[in-house]
Amino acid sequence: MASSEEDGAGNHSLDEKENGKKAPRRRGAVTTAWLIFYNITMTAGWLVLAIAMARFYMEKGTYKGLYKSIQKTLKFFQTFALLEIVHCAIGVVHTSVLVTGVQVCSRIFMVWFITHSIKQIQNEESVILFLVVWTVTEITRYSFYTFNMLNHLPYFIKWARYNFFIILYPAGVVGELLTIYAALPYVKRSGMYSVRLPNKYNVSFDYYYFLLIVMVSYVPLFPQLYFHMLRQRRRVLHGEVIVEKDD
């Protein structure tokens, strides 16, 4: 789910300490330096996006055209996040490859296969909603990882990571769902990305119905991920010991 907070960018040292789990083997200096560089770069990238969005709105007095003005930067940094899947796959970060892959790819799906592909919806309020949510979330998340890896984590950053999501996560999901919903008429009318029979491969695919399935998938996924974050919040901020079943 696009609005969730995947952990392929940083480490789990803080969470594992809070959970009472055994810490993983220490990383080498090169690996640590790379992850710090990666997280600083991503923090800076999303800060640039935040500043660009604020400047556009202050200068134009409207959100119309905002997405078009920042889309290149958004596409670059969101696509760059594919490295987080690589981090998990090679063991640099101790997080599920599947979970991280789904969450990163869902963001890329929203960027490339929804807002990029269907330009008619780029000025929808829902697009601006999920952009603002993503931006605040990512600035908080990547700065959290950066300071944590430098062993100098300000309490406000820690507090923000485990509190902002309470409002931002549902708001982001609403923005994403409304954006996909706004795209449906254009997809149905154009038949984009759909494969019709007959064809030499004898297969068919309807992008319109695929998007409906994507929307329905939010129903079981959102509560699981949201309550997972709430459990993490209780552990980290309040020191509660919660026993969870291993995946």
A 10 A CB-CB count for 63 gives 18
| CA distances in angstroms from 21 to 18, 162, 241, listed in the order given | 8, 19, 11
18 counts as catalytic: no
Q: Which of 38, 176, 207, 208 is catalytic?
A: 176
Give yes or no for a contact between 136 and 171, defined as CB atoms under 8 angstroms apart. no
Cis-peptide into 198, omega within 30 deg: yes
Of the residues 63, 67, 169, 207, only one is catalytic, namely 169
Question: For tokens 């119905």, what's the residue?
Answer: 209
Let me know: does 95 contact 41? Beta carbons within 8 Å: no
| Residue 233: closest CA among 153, 179, 158 | 158
Q: Which two structure tokens, joined as six digits, stand for 76?
A: 């670059």
Based on the residue annotation, tell me whether 209 is a catalytic residue of this protein.
no
Indicate the residue type of 219: V
State the catalytic residues. 169, 176
